[in-house]
């Protein structure tokens, strides 16, 4: 009833909390739109824990940014030690058998590169470091690119345009807009710059699990896909290639994906919360 506690767990009366939200959703549903179910809407308690996970995740990526340089290996000790000593769990470690605490993807590697003490960073490399932290069963997921030493103009431009794709993707997020708006905006910007967009991997709901609905494609059509509603938390993580979008997966480790043509790939990822007014970036 209207005076009962809201389903979101806020403790507020339904009529003062999500009644209007439900009314909006029900109208959209009658119009045939794909709408998020209540389990995709984070409670204040969920958001509090996701923010704690994000705080560690942001700090660990800052730390990586301070330390990363030519001559260093990609071993994951820095991420593991910082995360665990600050009360977090590295979500990648053991996730579906992934062997390390973070993904490190260099040059023609698109994503899911496996850290190793045998892989040494060299002058001119571009690398994506993708980190996810768990605190109190809540997840925050983000990745950044780093340029090692003197990087070619071509590589620098790919890294910058990919960052712009993420920013443009975030700007396309509107409460009561559509998930398809995000991919449409990203795709336009990438193609305008002569790049391709990877379609085999996408962003995702995140927070109560590593990967939840909705799946956030980085190509798309405006006004299609799931309705974006306040309370949703998801990632945007475009993978942008210099050449073909086609890829192959490492036969030996079963994880690392590479560009089919050997050209460069870049990626940036944020975790965002949709609010009534717009978005709040939680992990970056």
Residues that bind ligand MF3 (CB under 6 A): 92, 95-96, 98, 103, 112, 130, 132, 141, 237, 269
Q: Which is nearer to Co ion, 155 or 272 (CB)?
A: 272
Q: How far is the CB of 28 from Co ion (least distance, A)?
A: 26
Q: How far is the CB of 48 from Co ion (least distance, A)?
A: 21
The pair of structure tokens assigned to 159 is 């890294």
Can you tell me the distance from the alpha carbon of 246 to that of 232, in angstroms, rounded to the nearest whole number? 31
Indicate which single residue of 235, 242, 256, 257 sits in contact with Co ion (rule: CB under 5 A): 235
Residue among 258, 239, 259, 262 nearest 250 (CA) = 258
Is the N-terminal amide bond of 50 cis, ω within 30° of 0? no
By the rule CB under 5 A, 217 interacts with Co ion = no
- Give the one residue of 52, 141, 240, 279 binding Co ion; rule: CB under 5 A: 141
Nearer to ligand MF3, 225 or 238 (CB): 238
CB of 95 to ligand MF3, least distance (A): 4
User: Of the two residues 108 and 143, which places its CB atom closer to Co ion in the complex?
Assistant: 143
How far is 82 from 59, CA to CA, in rounded Å?
Answer: 9
CA angle 246, 251, 254 (to 5 degrees): 90
Query: Applying CB under 5 A, does 76 fall inside the site for Co ion?
Result: no
Least distance from ligand MF3 to the Cβ atom of residue 252, Å:
15
At its nearest, how many Å lie between Co ion and the CB of residue 99?
Answer: 16
The distance of closest approach from Cβ of residue 32 to ligand MF3 in the complex, given in angstroms and rounded to an integer, is 30
Whether residue 130 contacts residue 143, with contact meaning beta carbons closer than 8 Å, is answered with: yes
Nearer to ligand MF3, 101 or 196 (CB): 101
**Site size for Co ion (CB under 5 A):** 5
Cβ-based nearer residue to ligand MF3, 125 or 269: 269
Q: From the list 47, 130, 135, 239, which residue makes contact with Co ion (rule: CB under 5 A)?
A: 130
User: Which residues of this protein are in contact with Co ion, per CB under 5 A?
Assistant: 130, 141, 143, 235, 269
């Amino acid at each position: 009833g209207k005076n009962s506690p809201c389903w979101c767990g806020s403790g507020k009366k339904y009529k003062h909390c999500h009644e209007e939200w439900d009314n909006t959703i029900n109208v959209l549903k009658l119009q045939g739109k794909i709408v998020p179910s209540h389990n995709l809407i984070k409670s204040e308690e969920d958001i509090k824990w996701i923010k704690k996970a994000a705080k560690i995740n942001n700090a660990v990526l800052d730390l990586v940014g301070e330390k990363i340089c030519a001559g260093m290996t990609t071993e994951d000790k820095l991420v593991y030690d910082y995360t665990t000593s600050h009360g977090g769990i590295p979500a990648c470690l053991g996730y579906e058998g992934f062997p390390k605490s973070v993904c490190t993807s260099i040059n023609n590697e698109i994503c899911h590169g496996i850290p190793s003490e045998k892989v040494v960073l060299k002058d001119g490399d571009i690398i994506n470091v993708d980190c996810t932290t768990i605190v109190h069963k809540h997840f925050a997921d983000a990745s950044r690119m780093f340029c090692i030493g003197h990087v070619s103009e071509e590589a620098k431009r790919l890294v910058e345009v990919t960052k712009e794709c993420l920013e443009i993707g975030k700007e396309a997020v509107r409460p009561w807009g559509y998930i398809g708006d995000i991919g449409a905006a990203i795709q336009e910007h990438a193609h305008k710059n002569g790049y391709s967009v990877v379609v085999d991997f996408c962003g995702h709901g995140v927070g109560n699990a590593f990967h939840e609905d909705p799946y956030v494609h980085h190509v798309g059509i405006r006004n299609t896909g799931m309705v974006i509603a306040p309370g949703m938390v998801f990632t945007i993580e475009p993978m942008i290639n210099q050449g073909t979008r086609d890829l192959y997966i490492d036969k030996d480790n079963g994880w690392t994906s590479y560009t089919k043509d050997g050209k460069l790939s870049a990626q940036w990822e944020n975790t965002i919360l949709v609010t009534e007014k717009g978005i709040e970036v939680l992990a970056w």
